[in-house]
Amino acid sequence: MEFNIVSAIFKGIIGYIIEVIDRKKLYVFGAFLNTLTFISYIFANNVFHLIIIEFMSGVAYAIEGPITLSLLTEMLDDKKYGREIGIVEFAKEISVAIASLVAGIVVVIIGYEAVFLLGAVFQIASVIILNNYL
Write out pLDDT tens, residues 5-22.
999 998 888 888 888 888
CATH of the domain at 43: 1.20.1250.20
Q: Which of 39-43, 113-117, 124-128 is predicted with the least confidence, judged by mean pLDDT? A: 124-128
Task: Tell me the CB-side half-sphere exposure of residue 113, using CA atoms within 13 A.
Answer: 5
Number of domains, the chain: 1
Per-residue confidence band for 54, with pLDDT thresholds at 50, 70 and 90: very high
Query: Range of 117's domain?
Result: 2-133
User: Distances in Å between the alpha carbon of 29 and those of 62, 105, 114, 125?
Assistant: 12, 30, 24, 13
Of 108, 105, 124, give the one whose Cα is nearest residue 34. Answer: 124
- Mean pLDDT, rounded, for 67-77: 83
Q: How many other C-beta atoms are found inside a 10 Å radius of the C-beta of residue 103? A: 16
